[in-house]
Structure 1
């Protein structure tokens, strides 16, 4: 088992009054080479769940339950151990690449940085690997764009750079937090296809977080629906889309354009 989340609860301390719990008893398992989609509207706790898995919650957070990464409970690990796991075991693609990327660094240098620091590669070897990764995520004219700054690239290209950075240390688990937000439909589909290919070709496990069931339905094997921090329903994506058991899931599906809704009725994964 790559990841097992067991009765995870997250609360945030306040200056006055009792802590406010924002994630209420989430549990799921994720196998190697599997994609789990986590869907829900803003404020449902999706991103808090991802930050807990990365060990990046703020100091005001209080957690209980377990997050087992190949049997090792992330919630009990010291920061030094978590630093060793981030990038090498767990990679993350953040929601907005323009803010996640350093605007003053060329994208090739940003990809190479982790390779030099954590793998001890020389600058020339790290640059060669950065170029390979840019080609892997299908950056056009990668040999030219490797020296571009983030503002010189389109939103879709910046997101691909973010994927390349997350993949640089060859993590076994990848968390993609709203990776297609603010991208047009065509680019969105291309990014999702890249993520799906990475799972297939590299055998990594993927957690895909989105507010859009249409995005989740394209590549997720299983889906977890969240609402206000609660796990509303969970199951194989095809089953959730065809025969949702909770009224909230049905409303999410009915809110999608009919064309998208009809196309997802035939979704099959696994």
Structure 2
């Protein structure tokens, strides 16, 4: 088992009063080479779950339960241990690439930075590897764009740079937190296609977080539906979408565009 989350509970301290629990006993497993979709509206706890998995919860947060990565519990690791896990075992694609990227650094240098620090590559070798990663995520004219600043690239290109950075240290698990937010439909499809190809080609596991069931339906093998920190249901994506067992999931499906709903119904028939 690549990742096993067991009875995870996360609470946040308040200045006055008792802590507020925002994740209520979530359990979910992810096999190697599998894509897990986590879906729910804003405030459902999706991003908190991903931050807990990365060991990036703020100091005001308290987590209990277990988050086992290859059998090792993330929640019991020291910061030094977590630094060895982040990037090398778990890579993360953040929701908004414009704020995740350093605006004052060229994108090639941002990819190469982690390679030089963690793999002790020379400046020349790190640049060559950064170019290879840009080509892998299908940046047009990668040899020219490697020296671009983030503001000189489109939203879709910046997101691809974020994917390249997340893949630089060859992690076994990739977490993509709303990777298609604010992208138009065409670019959204391209980014999802890249993620799907990378999972197949590299044999990595992917956690895809979204508020959009249509996005999840495209590439997720299994789906976890969350609402206000609770699990509504989980299972094979095909089963969850075509034969949802919870009323909340049925409402999410009813909110899909008619064409998307129709395609699910046709597939079911």
Deviation of 1:266 (Å): 5.8
The equivalent of 2:66 in structure 1 is 66
Contact persistence 1:48–1:57 (CA under 8 A): yes
Q: How does 1:46-195 map to 2 (within 5 A)?
A: 46-195=46-195
- In 2, distance between residues paired with 1:144 and 1:263? 40
Measure, in 2, the Cα distance between the counterparts of 1:81 and 1:177. 23
SS at match of 2:44: coil
Q: What is the SS of the residue equivalent to 2:252?
A: helix
Q: How much has 1:127 moved relative to structure 2?
A: 0.3
Equivalents in 2 of 1:266, 1:125: separation in Å?
50
Residues 136-172 of structure 1: per-residue CA shift (max 9 Å, x gap): 0000000000000000000000000000000000000
Q: What's 2:213 paired with? A: 213
Task: Tell me the CA shift for residue 198 of structure 1.
Answer: 0.5
SS of 2:161's equivalent in the other structure is: helix
Equivalent residue, structure 2, for 1:254: 254
> Which residue of structure 2 lines up, in the alignment, with residue 245 of structure 1?
245
Aligned pair 1:22/2:22, yes or no?
A: yes
Superposed CA deviations along residues 43-78 of structure 1, whole A, max 9, x for unmatched, are: 000000000000000000011100000000000000
1:164-207 Cα distance to aligned partner (Å, 9 max, x none): 00000000000000000000000000000000001000000000
Q: Given the two structures, how large is their TM-score scaled by the length of structure 2?
A: 0.98
Shift of 1:263: 2.2
Moved over 6 A (4+): none
Unaligned runs of 5+ in 2: none
Cα distance in structure 2, aligned partners of 1:261 and 1:98: 32
Partner of 1:18: helix, strand, or coil? coil
Q: Point out where structure 1 has 5 or more consecutive residues left out of the alignment.
A: none
CA distance in 2: counterparts of 1:12 and 1:164, whole angstroms: 32
Q: Distance in 2 between matches of 1:262 and 1:74?
A: 41
Separation in 2 of the partners of 1:3 and 1:238?
Answer: 21
CA–CA separation in structure 2 for the residues paired with 1:7 and 1:91? 23
- RMSD between aligned residues: 0.9
Distance change (3 Å), C-alpha of 1:265 and 1:199: farther
Q: Are the structure 2 counterparts of residues 37 and 266 from structure 1 closer, same or farther at C-alpha, using a change threshold of 3 Å?
A: farther
Count of aligned pairs between the two proteins = 268
